[in-house]
Amino acid sequence: MLIRAGDNVEVMAGDDRGVRGRVLKVDRKKRKAVVEKVNRVYKHVRRSQKNPQGGRLSKEMPVPASNLMVVCDGCGQPSRIGQRYLDDGSKERFCKKCGASMGQLAPPRSAYANS
């Protein structure tokens, strides 16, 4: 799963289809991600010292990663992302539509360097 916390994503399926938001948290085991302002639910909380008002608290719930697409910074479009090795042997994510780099995944390794 190549989605990372901090990525901008667009929801492709479900009630919030078409909504763009930033990934807050990723659960790799369950293959889900919590996205800002997506899949919001109400949690009813009793009055306490932590919540003196009580009432309904709105919070985001995880969304399956298969329903999300990363929005590329270069082309501004939701697109698939791939991974590739660079000449120095480091691994990076890239946009499959425009080929723009989306950040490094692994440090340089001599075994993958083109020399």
* Residues 6 or more apart in contact with residue 72 via CB below 8 angstroms: 78, 79, 81, 95, 97, 98, 100, 102
- Regarding whether 80 and 61 lie in a shared domain, the answer is no
CA–CA separation, 38 and 110 (whole Å): 42
- Regarding whether 100 and 64 lie in a shared domain, the answer is no
- Regarding whether 77 and 64 lie in a shared domain, the answer is no
Cβ-in-10-Å burial (0-12, 13-18, 19+) of 56 comes to exposed
Q: What is the chain's mean pLDDT, rounded? A: 94
pTM: 0.87
Percentage of residues in the chain with pLDDT exceeding 90?
Answer: 92
Total domains present in the chain: 2
What mean pLDDT comes out for the span 84-95?
A: 94
Quick one: DSSP state of residue 61? Answer: -
> Which residue range forms the structural domain that includes residue 2?
1-70
Residue 67: name the closest of 38, 95, 37, 100 by CA.
Answer: 38
Check if the beta carbon of residue 6 is closer than 8 Å to that of residue 55: no
- Each residue of 39-80: pLDDT tens digit? 999 999 999 999 899 999 999 999 999 999 999 999 999 999
- Regarding whether 49 and 93 lie in a shared domain, the answer is no
- Regarding whether 63 and 76 lie in a shared domain, the answer is no
Q: Give Dmax over CA atoms of the chain in angstroms.
A: 65
Check if the beta carbon of residue 88 is closer than 8 Å to that of residue 106: no
CATH of residue 52 = 2.30.30.30
- Regarding whether 31 and 66 lie in a shared domain, the answer is yes
- Regarding whether 114 and 97 lie in a shared domain, the answer is yes
- Regarding whether 60 and 4 lie in a shared domain, the answer is yes
- Regarding whether 9 and 63 lie in a shared domain, the answer is yes
